[in-house]
A and B are shown apart, each in its own frame.
Chain A
Amino acid sequence: NAGVTQTPKFQVLKTGQSMTLQCAQDMNHEYMSWYRQDPGMGLRLIHYSVGAGITDQGEVPNGYNVSRSTTEDFPLRLLSAAPSQTSVYFCASRNIQGAFATNEKLFFGSGTQLSVL
């Protein structure tokens, strides 16, 4: 049971380049989300999804696209990278049916450190 897998772990981009951060989970979780972590700003929600074909914006969605074609995968796309997108990105998932259960929690990936030059 791998949990939440993020790739790559590190990435350096030039301004204007595009790339996709991958996130996959093998726990059959309906809910998946992307956060960015910046010093002094905590974790800010970028986009989230409550099931295949359903996505919604978080606090800081500009410059990012997502899609959810399967339950397992939730990729995050940067269409034209900017230095302001330099950050650590975390993918997280949870079970919605278990949301009212005592074991509700978000499962986090190990993060992707992205630098945009």
Chain B
Amino acid sequence: GNSVTQMEGPVTLSEEAFLTINCTYTATGYPSLFWYVQYPGEGLQLLLKATKADDKGSNKGFEATYRKETTSFHLEKGSVQVSDSAVYFCALRASGGYQKVTFGTGTKLQVIP
């Protein structure tokens, strides 16, 4: 079945540091890939997405590129802020609009001033 594997956290960074959170997936065909973010005490919200190979999703300074050859969708940000402290989830939806969405285990990011 489909699955998503994320790097384990927590990740602690100083403000303005470079962030990478690794995500790899297993799926047949061409899934759509997502990063969701969960701020403390809230539900998840979409951060960015990519629907086909070599697509780059971006939002709020975060980027991720859909790499079919390595089945990866790593999240990056050049300079993190304290306000980026949250839990980040990688997710996929298999090809087809009726397909369910599968999430990874989440990576907690803490940014210290």
Chain A interface (Cβ within 8 Å of chain B)?
Answer: 4, 31, 33, 35, 40-45, 48, 50, 56, 58, 90, 92, 94, 96-97, 99-100, 104-106, 108-111
Q: Is the CB of B103 within 8 A of A43?
A: yes
Chain B interface (Cβ within 8 Å of chain A)?
Answer: 6, 32, 34, 36, 42-46, 49, 51, 89, 93, 96-98, 100-106
The docked-state distance in angstroms from the alpha carbon of A96 to that of B98 is: 6
Instruction: List the A side residues contacting B104 at CB < 8 Å.
Output: 42
Given A99-B93, A106-B46, A110-B43, also A42-B105 (CB < 8 A): yes
A94-B101, A96-B98, A104-B32 given; name 13 further pairs at CB < 8 Å: A40-B105, A42-B89, A42-B103, A43-B44, A45-B103, A58-B100, A96-B97, A99-B96, A100-B51, A100-B97, A105-B49, A106-B44, A110-B42
A6, chain B: closest CB distance, angstroms? 9
Q: Is the CB of A104 within 8 A of B49?
A: yes
Q: Is the interface of B mostly helix, strand, loop or mixed?
A: strand
Look across to chain A and name the residue whose beta carbon is closest to the beta carbon of B4.
A42
Given A43-B106, A108-B43, also A50-B98 (CB < 8 A): yes
Instruction: List the A side residues contacting B6 at CB < 8 Å.
Output: 42
The 9 closest A-B pairs by CB, nearest first: A99-B97, A42-B105, A108-B43, A105-B46, A43-B103, A96-B97, A42-B106, A108-B44, A50-B98
Q: Could you show 25 A-B contacts with beta carbons less than 8 Å apart? A: A35-B103, A42-B89, A42-B103, A42-B105, A43-B44, A43-B103, A43-B106, A45-B100, A45-B102, A45-B103, A48-B100, A90-B44, A92-B101, A99-B97, A100-B51, A104-B49, A104-B51, A105-B49, A106-B44, A106-B46, A106-B101, A108-B44, A110-B42, A110-B43, A111-B43
